[in-house]
Structure 1
């Protein structure tokens, strides 16, 4: 006879956590069901952590739930889904869950110009203050468990691409937030940033000349894989015990090649 699942609230989380959820270590991955976030969730789950798969809106609930069910089929009680829009500055609502790792991965990439101040506010909430609200609510757990925060940044913070003003400013803000927390929360919590370069192409990518130009700008001659991002995040979160406050560029050498 199948064990009944606890009823879920409107945010996707169980109304009451059971003993399986309160055992072991957990990681919260924002934007954890797609592209790089999906790879990070899978990698951390394979390392033995329970995973809270965060997604922003109802439209991504089915995808996130499918991932959670796959994790739970592999290891019962090892995954939860949490729906929360970062724009709303969410507080993680289950403080009793032993969250030891937070990966600030969720992002929104779109063009913007200086005068588009509505984009400025939206980008800041998604990348900086939304993640800050989550981290503040999980500070007691992270401190108690001597945990880690890893943010996914962007090498373009230092080498800006045109027409993405507020995305880049917000990503720079996320980077600064995490570096500041490396000092504020030391020695209890380590906080680092992975700054990727070009990663796997979106399925709808169609600009072949730009693809070739990007490849020609990378010394290794290829884009990075999401699994490589996931392993880098996992290393910083779980193994790099004396590293904090750092920005690790994962870009195939792109940021150091003057052409």
Structure 2
């Protein structure tokens, strides 16, 4: 018997939902019938927001977008207040917004450290804490935190991004312990996903195609993941099929972590 996930009547917030993994996640939730709300830092008339609206038009006539700077706690609070007034509750939050902040331990300056900590670590806590009253109004709220395979193993030159992503593993556990049983908290740690952000990293090498091919070769599946595949995991974890999942972060990396690198 085929399994299907129907999220009609559910309201979902995806932070950073207009590009990369966030866009793939927004699309998957729309395909499942949910009302999708997204936020990002770009202005509403920005190119990426317009592209997001075009992609979502296939699935919904109501592509809801808010401009929010998630490094600012007050903006998150005002956003939460507005969502509470308009929608009453959120059934699912995918706390996805973030960016690559890559340097070395020695060369990283305070500005980079602070940006990384505010966006890649603290913002997930602030979103969860300030949006919790909306999740409390759901039958069972689900808070999904997007971390990274860098939380488990990393590479030279990926500091302090890897520090923040490792911290999110503990955040998932802490929220799961304190907010259950009414709210489930789970994490997803994607590996190399075919996103503009990863392409930018490949482009930093002298030979981008060679760098990409070398990375692909490290994966037993011999390809990179897609944003929609990570989005599908989010949909599954938000569904009743995953109702016993709480406090766990799922590493989705195409088997790269299973293969010894020599």
**TM-score bin, normalised by smaller chain:** 0.7 to 0.9
Asked if the contact 1:110–1:167 (Cα under 8 Å) also holds between the matched residues in 2, the reply is yes
Query: Aligned with 1:86: secondary structure?
Result: coil
Match of 1:99 among 86, 90, 98: 90
TM-score (norm 2): 0.82
2:224 is equivalent to residue 223 of structure 1:
yes
Matches within 5 A, 1:31-180: 31-58=16-43, 61-64=46-49, 67-68=52-53, 71=56, 75-76=60-61, 78-89=62-73, 90-91=76-77, 92-94=80-82, 95-96=84-85, 97=87, 98-114=89-105, 115-145=108-138, 146-180=140-174
TM-score (norm 1): 0.83
Higher percent of residues as helix: 2
Cα deviation digits, residues 53-97 of structure 1 (max 9, x gap): 111132874532553476578545x44211111111222232232
Asked if the contact 1:29–1:54 (Cα under 8 Å) also holds between the matched residues in 2, the reply is yes
Q: 2:3 matched to which residue of 1? A: none
Q: How many residues align?
A: 236
RMSD (Å) for aligned C-alpha atoms: 2.3
Query: Aligned with 1:258: secondary structure?
Result: coil
Query: Aligned with 1:180: secondary structure?
Result: helix
Q: CA deviation at 1:150?
A: 1.1
- Supply the distance in 2 between the matched residues of 1:194 and 1:60 (Cα, whole angstroms): 30
Bigger relative contact order (CA 8 A; separation at least 6): 2
Query: Aligned with 1:200: secondary structure?
Result: coil
- Supply the distance in 2 between the matched residues of 1:72 and 1:220 (Cα, whole angstroms): 32
Identify unmatched segments of 5+ residues in structure 1.
Answer: 1-22
Cα deviation digits, residues 90-140 of structure 1 (max 9, x gap): 222322322111101111103223342221111111022222222212112
- Cα distance, 1:74–1:157 mapped onto 2, change above 3 Å: closer
Matches within 5 A, 1:178-197: 178-197=172-191
- Supply the distance in 2 between the matched residues of 1:58 and 1:250 (Cα, whole angstroms): 31
Identify unmatched segments of 5+ residues in structure 2.
Answer: 1-7
